Amino acid sequence: MVLLSASPCGLKKLLAICEAYASSHGLVYNVDKSEVMVFESRGRKSLDIPPVKLNGVLMRRVDSVKYLGHHLVSDLKDNDDIERERRALAVRANVIARRFARCSKEVKVTLFRAYCTSFYTCSLWATYTQKSYSALRVQYNNAFRMLMGLPRSCSASGMFAEAKVDCFYATMRKRCASLVRRMRASTDSILSMEASRMDCVYIGRCCAVSHGTGQQ
């Protein structure tokens, strides 16, 4: 469960509503498992934030949190989440390559598509360094080479074209295009509003990637 507020005062009001609901239903929130995080505004770290309490107990303030598998940090940069995905990709690729080494190329390609191209929450990456993004791309290419038993010196574009598998950039374009399409078709008023705003960082980034201008 996540509460979002533009101010500490608003957050306290939201917490009060939750506390009242929990009390009326015989429930108690676990303060030890509850955290508060302040997102930075234009790179400025907010230090003077009034204490936020839950059930009268001061909540622990953190700079990062994992929510639904996605790493959120106070400076809103996505390098940590990209690194999470890179490591997860390396593990999946190693397991597949080891267990299915004797399978046919067709089977290996199917496994690669199923387990190495999902890039969970990649459509939400909006602020990151080129270094972290390139590291994920290299891991993606190496994972396919390892699975197919190809030398490191072989052309990435050539091997994907020959196997009829999407390269890293094509995979990213599809993921981003899918997010924009689903947001624009959503009946949720907040999602549809954000989808119509070109100044939205996520929509802007997805459109740039989809048109091939958001990568180097």
Please give the pLDDT value at position 24: 95
Instruction: Give dist(CA 186, CA 1) in Å, integer.
Output: 22
Q: What does the pLDDT read at residue 216?
A: 40
**Whole-number Å distance between alpha carbons of 206 and 213:** 10
Question: What is the per-residue pLDDT for 212?
Answer: 61
> Any bridge partners for residue 71, and if so which?
66
DSSP 8-state secondary structure symbol assigned to residue 6: S
List, for residues 1-11, the tens digit of each pLDDT value: 899 998 889 99
Instruction: Give pLDDT, residue 213.
Output: 53
The pLDDT of residue 126 is 86
Overall size of the chain counted in residues: 216
pLDDT at 166: 95
The model carries a pTM of 0.81
Q: What is the pLDDT of residue 25?
A: 95
Phi, then psi, of 41 in degrees rounded to 5: -105, 110
Spans in the chain with pLDDT lower than 50:
215-216
